[in-house]
Structure 1
Amino acid sequence: MDWDLVWPVVAAMTAGGLIGVERTYHGHPAGFRTHILVCLTSCLLMLAAMQQSTWDFAYLPGQRVVIDPTRMSHGLLTGIGFLCAGVIFREGFSVHGLTTAASLWVTSAIGVLYGVGMLELALIGSGATLAVLAVLRLLDAKLPHVGVMDVVLRWKRGAAPSEAALRDLLRARGLKAVRIGHVMSPDRLIHEHQLKVKGPMPIDADALVAQLSGHDGLAGFSVLPRDE
């Protein structure tokens, strides 16, 4: 058994698994197994590219084969974009999954580093990625920042307030509507406001829900805090 091929595979699977555990723990779509497979695939393909001298080429007379492993890394980091796109989705005015997509991208890069034998840089990259995803999450929670919520208000016919009145309603709760969309049902019985709302953390969503619940003009509503 060629241990020079085994240890990069084991190291890549370990690094991908550790990053995936953090994503799985927080309930993100691409988790433990996905990150392992991304890092493992990147490592395997780069190992294959680095060993091109052992490939079973059928040489033609006068042909010269030039080995260039960088082409494989370019293809990997371009191809991972398709997988990253699969975990990014839009809901209303919000875009979700960007951090998970970035974690897949960096996991692929770490696999490439293990594949080409850059152990020290691969370990540094693995540690830095885990620090950003896990340790800095704790720091981020303590920093003062603005929270974002997606709010949908479904008003009965004739009960929808003006945008100015809607902004005043939110301002009373310390919130600010940074974007307001309007949707009218086909039967014109429901006027829907789709809002992107910002406010200082922690946002008191319960107070807003309580206020909206007592509004007679509402046929329904949803208040969805964003986590990333």
Structure 2
Amino acid sequence: MPTMIEFMPLNPSWVDIIGRLLLVIATGALIGVNREVGGHAAGFRTTILVGLAACLAMIQANLLLSTIGKTSQSFVSMDVLRFPLGVLTGVGFIGGGAILKRGDLVTGVTTAATLWIMTAIGLCIGGGQLVVGSIGAIAAFIVLSPFKWFDELIPHQHKARMEIELADVAEIAKIQAIFEPLGYTFLFIAKREGKADATVHVTYQVRWKHSGVGGAALELLTAVEERYKVLSFEMVTTTA
């Protein structure tokens, strides 16, 4: 039965190195295509480059672990973990740059996590753990693709900011009573005088739970427009 050292040679040949680089390119492409199709910032080429960087760092660490003239016990004193730790730290900065926050809207969290897992995959493949890295890539692809359908079936908390024109100030308190039976919570934010006599423009934060990417925002907007004039509508739900 082959030993683990035969699958992960401490002195890799050029064939081993090229094989690792090609495999990490293939796994990066698998995950990168998914992100590219979704229109995310870190797409096809970015994902491959992150994996290649991690892979090259581990290949370098692997090459520095020469076994010539040394016993197996001598490797305990070698701190080769500085390579992957340094790569993971660098990717942390890239991931932080991928996450954007504008008010209550947060985007890029899944993109940052994708770069993180791709780095781990690259480290595994670069260190010669080809099976572990390949399994990790398949698992990541499953989470990003098929699992996304399950995620859309789970009811999420959605939020939107809406400005409505009301006939008078007395209408402000009635909004919640009208839409609460429909599952919407209207939280008063601010009001200002309208151009017409006695009208007021009131801004609300609306909260509700619904599955799916759109979160039934169109249904909410339609329900409000049946009774009032909507001046502005903006989703502020956290997204990937």
Q: TM-score of the superposition, structure 1-length normalised?
A: 0.76
* AA matched with 2:224: L
Match of 1:182 in 2: 189
CA distance in 2, matches of 1:11, 1:37: 13
Match of 1:118 in 2: 129
Which secondary structure state, in structure 2, belongs to the residue aligned with residue 51 of structure 1?
helix
Which secondary structure state, in structure 1, belongs to the residue aligned with residue 145 of structure 2?
helix
Q: Name which of 24, 39, 43 aligns with 1:27.
A: 39
Match of 2:211 in 1: 201
Q: TM-score of the superposition, structure 2-length normalised?
A: 0.73
* AA matched with 1:182: I
- Gap regions ≥5 residues in structure 1: 55-65
Superposed CA deviations along residues 41-68 of structure 1, whole A, max 9, x for unmatched, are 11111111222268xxxxxxxxxxx743
CA distance in 2, matches of 1:73, 1:160: 63
- Gap regions ≥5 residues in structure 2: 1-12, 67-76, 193-199
Match of 1:49 in 2: 61
CA distance in 1, matches of 2:110, 2:88: 17
* AA matched with 2:131: E
Which secondary structure state, in structure 2, belongs to the residue aligned with residue 28 of structure 1?
coil
- Distance change in 2, residues 1:170/1:45 (3 Å): farther
Structure ID, larger Rg? 2
Superposed CA deviations along residues 135-165 of structure 1, whole A, max 9, x for unmatched, are 2123334x4x223433112245975965x64
* AA matched with 1:30: A
CA deviation after TM superposition for structure 1 residue 113, in Å:
0.5
Q: Does the 8 Å contact 1:92/1:194 carry over to 2?
A: no
CA deviation after TM superposition for structure 1 residue 191, in Å:
5.0
Match of 2:109 in 1: 98
Match of 1:151 in 2: 160
Superposed CA deviations along residues 159-205 of structure 1, whole A, max 9, x for unmatched, are 5965x64443442432346xx573678xxx9653344x222335432
Is 1:36 equivalent to 2:60 in the alignment? no
Match of 2:99 in 1: 88
CA-based RMSD of the aligned residues comes to: 3.1
Which secondary structure state, in structure 2, belongs to the residue aligned with residue 73 of structure 1?
helix
* AA matched with 1:153: M
Which secondary structure state, in structure 2, belongs to the residue aligned with residue 149 of structure 1?
strand
CA distance in 1, matches of 2:93, 2:191: 35
Aligned residues: 209
Q: Name which of 67, 73, 79 aligns with 1:68.
A: 79
Sequence identity of aligned pairs in percent? 29
* AA matched with 1:200: H
CA distance in 1, matches of 2:19, 2:179: 57
- Distance change in 2, residues 1:208/1:139 (3 Å): closer
Match of 2:19 in 1: 7
